[in-house]
Amino acid sequence: MKKLIISIFGAAVLFTSGATSTEASTINTMVNNMTGIPYKWGGTTMAGFDCSGFMRYLFNKYSIELPRTSQQQAKAGTPVSKASIRTGDLVFFNTTGRGISHTGVYIGGGQFAHASSSKGVSITKLSNPYFNDRYVTARRVTGQFMYNKMLGKL
């Protein structure tokens, strides 16, 4: 009985939660299929990624070209406030104390995907204390068409 109630509750949450859990399907599926790919400094392929190489690889799948480094990527597109971040926005962090040094893509539900030097391609909560304390900015590099494509609406 307990499992049935939990299953019913889970289904109710899934069908009532809107964009956060169900709409980000194409980019989430792609990221989930890549989780665990190892970190490789300078890596830009499925054999291994660094953070900016991973962003370039992902966004290339949506015909969006990004600069090579996280510092350069942080100048692309338009700035977005932390409160207005949506699926497909790039998020940037200062992990070295010397300016922007890490990037990821927001995938909804308070999470972002990135190539971590310790875990490889992974999904992390934006509220994770380490990243929350090092958050710098977000940038929107997608127009409405590509945003809809990332959400699986096209």
- Helical (H) or strand (E) element with 39: none
Task: Report the candidate in 117, 123, 105 with the shortest Cα–Cα distance to residue 50.
Answer: 117
Among 56, 102, 139, 140, the one annotated catalytic: 102
Residue 137, SS3 per DSSP: strand
Q: Residue type at 62?
A: Y
| Phi, psi angle pair for 68, to nearest 5° | -75, -40
Among 90, 106, 114, 138, the one annotated catalytic: 114
Which residue's structure tokens are 């590509």?
Answer: 146
Does the annotation mark 114 as catalytic?
yes
Does the annotation mark 102 as catalytic?
yes
Please check whether residue 37 is in contact with residue 49, taking contact to mean a CB–CB distance below 8 angstroms: yes
Among 37, 51, 90, 121, the one annotated catalytic: 51
d(CA 102, CA 94): 6
Does the annotation mark 51 as catalytic?
yes
The C-alpha torsion from 89 through 17 and 150 to 71, rounded to 10°, is: 10
Q: List residues with catalytic annotation.
A: 51, 102, 114
